[in-house]
């Protein structure tokens, strides 16, 4: 008998609901973006929380109607309970708890990083053991995935996440938020060698990342340029993007040289970056390691990945009670 799972994702500024089937995969997936943050050049937590409160109920009703499923017939509810913005997480978790209580449906809290990793399982099983590079606005981590539910952090950023660096550099260049896609577009018109930006922690032997020095170097260079013409902005964008991609690829290759894995996965919003995909594919093809990533709509925050993760937790017999709480920060740990 087919089992359906509801996923709820409200960790930051996107409100998302999805239905996932253990037989058909993603049945329905809907995400509502919060455009009101664009005027501020970044996510405003209070605005994000209030927007989730307005949007979540109608989005849930739409998804349930499109899937033609009743609450009580769900096999489980998965909700992101961290890491993320506390107010945003509380809106999603409170709503999920109410549904669980009203419908008598099992509830499970999903770590946001695990959700991103399992976005790669939405259209087929993972090839494990594997290494996964999770790159987004809030996270940059290399994870060893021995099995679903068994994870080990191999490397992580010591300061800014790659996506955060993209956003801040984009703001310095006067580009729209979010910075990642805007920088990628601008970089197509610029030279990757226009400016020599630092590659922090290169040659140190560690799998960790650091992007705060790059951000500072870009700020100082932009200030020294004075009037920022479109040509100069494109050169800065291309050079900064290349510096970020260089270190993501180099650290991943270094970790692969000392790990026995069958596959390499990209995950998170920055995994949609075309230059990162191109460079990672070239580097790993030479080492005969397959690399793959989710389709673009599953790279950014989405509830389909949360529903998929919930299926694995609940199938393994792991659920949470109504005392489940949120956490703004916290590493992904094994549960299987």
CB 299 within 8 A of CB 271: yes
* 165 has a pLDDT exceeding 80: yes
262-321 pLDDT per residue, tens: 999 999 999 999 999 999 999 999 999 999 999 999 999 999 999 999 999 999 999 999
Residue 35 has pLDDT above 80, yes or no: no
Inform me whether the pLDDT recorded for 129 exceeds 90. yes
Look at 22-36, 55-69, 298-312 and tell me which has the smallest mean pLDDT: 22-36
> Taking a C-beta distance cutoff of 8 angstroms, is the pair 222, 236 a contact?
yes
Domain 4-118+298-315, CATH: 3.30.420.40
- Asked whether the predicted pLDDT for residue 80 surpasses 90, the reply is yes
Q: CA 58, CA 69: separation in Å to the nearest integer?
A: 15
Residue 151 burial class via C-beta count within 10 angstroms: exposed 0-12, middle 13-18, buried 19 and up: buried
99-108: per-residue pLDDT in tens? 999 999 999 9
Average pLDDT value for residue range 60-65: 98
Q: Decide if pLDDT at 198 tops 80.
A: yes
The pLDDT value given to residue 91: 98
Residues 316, 319: Cα–Cα separation, whole Å: 9
Determine the pLDDT at residue 76: 98
Q: The tokens of 73 are what?
A: 């017939």
pLDDT at 34: 80
So what CATH class is 127-293? alpha beta
CB-hemisphere CA count at 13 Å for 188? 7
Average pLDDT for residues 229-240, to the nearest whole number? Answer: 97
Asked whether the beta carbons of 111 and 318 are under 8 A apart, the reply is no
**Which is higher by pLDDT, 259 or 284?**
284
Domain ranges of the chain: 4-118+298-315, 127-293
Q: Which residues in 194-212 are b (16+ Cβ under 10 Å) and which e?
A: bbebebbbeeeeebbbbbe
How far apart are the C-alpha atoms of 256 and 234, rounded to whole Å? Answer: 33
- pLDDT for residue 33: 84
Pairing of strands 140-147, 150-156: antiparallel
Mean of per-residue pLDDT scores for the chain: 96
pLDDT given for residue 119 in this prediction = 98
């Amino acid at each position: 008998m087919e089992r359906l799972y509801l996923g709820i994702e409200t960790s930051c500024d996107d409100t998302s609901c999805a239905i996932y089937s253990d037989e058909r995969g993603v049945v329905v997936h809907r995400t509502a973006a919060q455009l009101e943050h664009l005027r501020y050049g970044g996510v405003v937590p209070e605005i994000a929380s209030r927007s989730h409160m307005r949007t979540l109920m109608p989005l849930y009703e739409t998804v349930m109607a499109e899937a033609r499923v009743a609450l009580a017939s769900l096999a489980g509810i998965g909700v992101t309970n961290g890491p993320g913005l506390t107010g945003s997480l509380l809106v999603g978790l409170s709503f999920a708890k109410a549904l669980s209580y009203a419908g008598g449906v099992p509830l499970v809290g999903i770590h946001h990083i695990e959700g991103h990793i399992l976005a790669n399982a939405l259209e087929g099983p993972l090839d494990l053991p594997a290494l996964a590079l999770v790159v987004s606005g809030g996270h940059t981590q290399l994870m060893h995935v021995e099995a679903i539910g068994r994870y080990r952090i191999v490397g992580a950023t010591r300061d800014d996440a790659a996506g955060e660096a993209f956003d801040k550099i984009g703001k310095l260049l006067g580009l729209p938020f979010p910075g990642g896609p805007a920088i990628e577009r601008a970089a197509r018109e610029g030279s990757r060698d226009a400016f020599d930006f630092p590659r922090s922690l290169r040659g140190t032997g560690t799998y960790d990342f650091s992007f705060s020095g790059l951000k500072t170097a870009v700020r100082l260079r932009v200030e020294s340029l004075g009037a920022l013409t479109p040509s100069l902005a494109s050169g800065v964008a291309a050079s900064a993007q290349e510096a970020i991609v260089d270190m993501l690829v180099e650290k991943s290759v270094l970790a692969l040289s000392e790990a026995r894995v069958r596959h390499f996965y990209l995950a998170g919003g920055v995994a949609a970056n075309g230059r990162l995909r191109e460079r990672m594919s070239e580097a790993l093809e030479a080492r005969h390691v397959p690399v793959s990533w989710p389709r673009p709509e599953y790279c950014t925050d989405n509830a389909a990945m949360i529903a998929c993760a919930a299926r694995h937790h609940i199938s393994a017999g792991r659920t949470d009670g109504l005392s489940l709480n949120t956490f703004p920060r916290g590493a992904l740990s094994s549960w299987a």
